[in-house]
Amino acid sequence: MTFSPHIIKELLQSSDHQLKELKETYALLPETRCRRKAQCCSMLPEMTLVEALPVIRRLVEMAAATRNRLIKKIIGHFFLNPVEITLCPFLEGQECLIYPDRFFGCRSYGLWSPAHYETLAARDRRAKKHLQEQWKSLGVCLPKKVVDFQVPYCLCVETNGPVIIDDKILVQASDTIEAISAGFSSWHQLFGQRYFSDLSFLLSALMFGHIAAVQMKFTLVRYIVNTKNRTRLDRIIQELPDLCAMLT
């Protein structure tokens, strides 16, 4: 079982209720500002399926030139993220191009207590270590600076006005979003388990097929680690067709 453009189209057409619930849950979180604007957007956050869908819809509705540029960045991110800190593909200059639909991970960043953030960071470190070992077992040694990279805890995020927000409220919001997404039943599980909650994986798999995207990633990452040469990848990205045309 894998996602196809047809399945994504069906999910987009039948998800108004879930997307409304997602918006209502996002609205429980305070608006924030940060003087280090966008400096923390150094990676594409993990997300649930229900968070990915409005972003796909936004991409589909963008002007063709903009969405094609963005999709090329997202797919480039999928292939390059084991070897480079690529920044979040939605970041342009200091602006997030999908700000109204940004993910829970973006909205909650800087609002967690330092202790809870450290728990999340420790889980992330374990996942990266595991990933590094998997690549190693395939004969590819990922760059240490990428494996060790973590977004530091941010003390610069402030809420707009006095708002009570704590870990309990954030965990509740996160659980609610998970429950809304679980309404997509097996598609929700599939996105977490076979696509690792990664929109860049989903879009790359829609473009090339799930197995082909994984095989291409392995070949390209091994080649780039060994040669430091990105020409092959750049050529593939340059020639990508308009994915969103398949989703309309």
Interface residues with ligand SF4 (CB under 6 A) are 41, 45, 88, 90-91, 96, 98, 102-103, 106
Three-state helix/strand/coil letters over 137-183: HCCCCCCHHHHCCCCCCCCCEEECCCCCCCHHHHHHHHHHHHHHHHC
d(CA 46, CA 23): 18
- The position carrying tokens 């990676």 is 43
* Residue with smaller CB distance to ligand SF4, 149 or 218: 149
Please say whether the beta carbons of 195 and 3 come within 8 A. yes
* Residue with smaller CB distance to ligand SF4, 26 or 135: 26
As measured in angstroms, the least distance from the Cβ of 90 to ligand SF4 is: 4
As measured in angstroms, the least distance from the Cβ of 40 to ligand SF4 is: 7
* Residue with smaller CB distance to ligand SF4, 44 or 180: 44
* Residue with smaller CB distance to ligand SF4, 45 or 192: 45
As measured in angstroms, the least distance from the Cβ of 197 to ligand SF4 is: 14
As measured in angstroms, the least distance from the Cβ of 75 to ligand SF4 is: 15
d(CA 56, CA 9): 10
d(CA 203, CA 56): 9
* Residue with smaller CB distance to ligand SF4, 73 or 188: 73
CA distances in angstroms from 209 to 174, 216, 219, 240, listed in the order given? 30, 10, 15, 13
Calculate the CA 139 to chain-centre distance. 26
Please say whether the beta carbons of 110 and 154 come within 8 A. yes
* Residue with smaller CB distance to ligand SF4, 70 or 140: 70
As measured in angstroms, the least distance from the Cβ of 163 to ligand SF4 is: 19
Q: Is 113 helix (H, G, I), strand (E, B) or coil?
A: coil
As measured in angstroms, the least distance from the Cβ of 159 to ligand SF4 is: 16
